Amino acid sequence: AYVNTKVILDKANKEGYGVGAFNVNNLEFIHAIIEAGVEKKSPVIIQTSQGALKYAGDGDVYRGARLFVKMVREFADSVEIPVALNLDHGSKLENIMACIQAGYSSVMIDASHSPLEENIAITKDIVRIAHAANVSVEAELGQLAGIEDDVVAEHSVLVDPNEAKRFVEETKVDFLAPAIGTSHGAFKFKGTAKLDFDRLKEVKELTKIPLVLHGASSVVQEMVKIAEANGADFGGSKGVPSDILKETVKYGINKVNTDTDLRMAYIAGLREFLNNNPKEFDPRKYFATAKEYTKKVIMDRMEVLDSVGKI
Ligand SMILES: O=C(COP(=O)(O)O)N(O)CCCOP(=O)(O)O
Ligand SMILES: [Zn+2]
């Protein structure tokens, strides 16, 4: 069933487990996510970045938003598990409005690169507009290192828990993404993975609302190996280990953003298939292994997050 993201995350918050928020850019990834959720009887959040809207709409973000709502609703309405659709890292008003108008379950207003007062002001406006349309809202405090929407942050700026308390009270935002040391992409840590659990615990204590972990992919080594055996070069890739991910869920993370792990699995399957099947040119064949590997990493992640059976 197609639901508001708040329905999924309020339950996860109450019962203390994590739910995967899986990024998609096309139909094939939606297949993998829905199949994994059905098989594991797990809720799923499907999310699209602004780049995904442009990509699927072939340049028109309004068309992209409408297309994703139609595709996701079609699958959501044909299965029992709760499925929500979220706009990830909405930073331009046009994209946020396009998704609200199209019928998204939730939108993220990412004003984390603006000063706090501005972030509060913008988020307040989006919350008012979105709530009027029964759409829930995610916001971000602090900054991930790396590139986000062509904004390069040299290093992460960790969340200030007292700012988080004020931010949530003043904006009435539904979910908050506190920066605690992760970053987007496949190269998250130079040395050992280290997240600021104390800060996370404080933010949860002070806000009590569902929290979001961005940059949460683990960079599954099984998939890295298959991809590298078939021509990929992912040297130095490192993600958030599963045991650390479990700890973030224990300390209050409920929405776990996962894009890189899906991309790695997909390219591993695609490379392996193409190298082993030089005569094949049917997309229904050459995308099949890619989908299977992506579905597998999603199901494994549902086990790690403890969202299995939580429908
Ligand atoms: O937090 C994450 C993913 O983190 P991950 O890289 O660890 O999977 N996200 O919000 C996904 C961001 C994807 O944006 P784009 O489509 O512009 O590349
Ligand atoms: Zn993110």
Please state the rounded mean pLDDT for residues 284-302: 98
**Confidence band, pLDDT 50/70/90 cuts, at residue 29:** very high
What's the mean per-residue pLDDT of the chain?
A: 96
The pLDDT assigned to 145 comes to 79
Q: Which of the following is catalytic: 10, 60, 77, 88? A: 88
185 lines ligand 1 (CB under 6 A): yes
209 pLDDT above the threshold of 80: yes
The pLDDT assigned to 230 comes to 98
Q: What is the pLDDT of residues 231-285, one digit of tens each?
A: 999 999 999 999 999 999 999 999 999 999 999 999 999 999 999 999 999 999 9
Nearest ligand 1 atom to alpha carbon 185 = 6
**Do the Cβ atoms of 272 and 43 come closer than 8 Å?**
no
Calculate how far, in angstroms, residue 49's C-alpha sits from the geometric centre of ligand 1.
Answer: 8
Q: Which ligand sits nearest to residue 217's alpha carbon?
A: 1
78 pLDDT above the threshold of 90: yes
How many CA atoms are closer than 13 Å to the CA of 253, on its beta-carbon side?
32
The pLDDT assigned to 107 comes to 98
Q: What is the pLDDT of residues 131-162, one digit of tens each?
A: 999 999 999 999 987 766 566 677 789 999 99
Please state the rounded mean pLDDT for residues 5-27: 98
**Do the Cβ atoms of 89 and 110 come closer than 8 Å?**
yes
311 pLDDT above the threshold of 80: yes
Instruction: Give the distance between the most distant pair of CA atoms in the chain.
Output: 60
Calculate how far, in angstroms, residue 50's C-alpha sits from the geometric centre of ligand 1.
Answer: 11
- Catalytic-residue membership of 88: yes
Output the CA torsion 127→132→137→143 (10° steps): -30
Cα distances (angstroms) measured from residue 111 to each of 88, 116, 124, 167, 264 = 12, 9, 11, 12, 28
Q: Where are the domains of the chain?
A: 5-305
CA distance 162 to 151: 25
The pLDDT assigned to 40 comes to 98
Identify any residues that bridge with 214 across adjacent strands, giving them in sequence order: none
Tokens 């960790």 identify what position? 158
The pLDDT assigned to 150 comes to 61
The pLDDT assigned to 237 comes to 95
Say if residue 55 is exposed, middle or buried (CB neighbours under 10 Å; 0-12, 13-18, 19+): middle
The pLDDT assigned to 151 comes to 63
Nearest ligand 1 atom to alpha carbon 240 = 7
Cα distances (angstroms) measured from residue 145 to each of 21, 47, 118, 245 = 20, 21, 20, 18
| Options 3.20.20.70, 2.160.10.10, 3.40.720.10, 3.40.50.2300; CATH of 5-305 | 3.20.20.70
191 pLDDT above the threshold of 90: no
Q: What is the pLDDT of residues 32-57, one digit of tens each?
A: 999 999 999 999 999 999 999 999 99
State the sign of the Cα–Cα–Cα–Cα dihedral 174, 175, 179, 184: negative
**Do the Cβ atoms of 108 and 127 come closer than 8 Å?**
no
- DSSP string across 232-249: ---TT-B---HHHHHHHH
Q: Ligand 2 is a single-atom ion; what residues have CB below 5 A from it?
A: 214, 257
The interface predicted TM-score (ipTM) is 0.98
The pLDDT assigned to 148 comes to 62
291 lines ligand 1 (CB under 6 A): no
Please state the rounded mean pLDDT for residues 196-212: 98
Tell me which residue has its CA closest to atom 15 in ligand 1.
49
**Confidence band, pLDDT 50/70/90 cuts, at residue 187:** very high
CA distance 99 to 85: 10
Token duo for residue 125: 């406006």
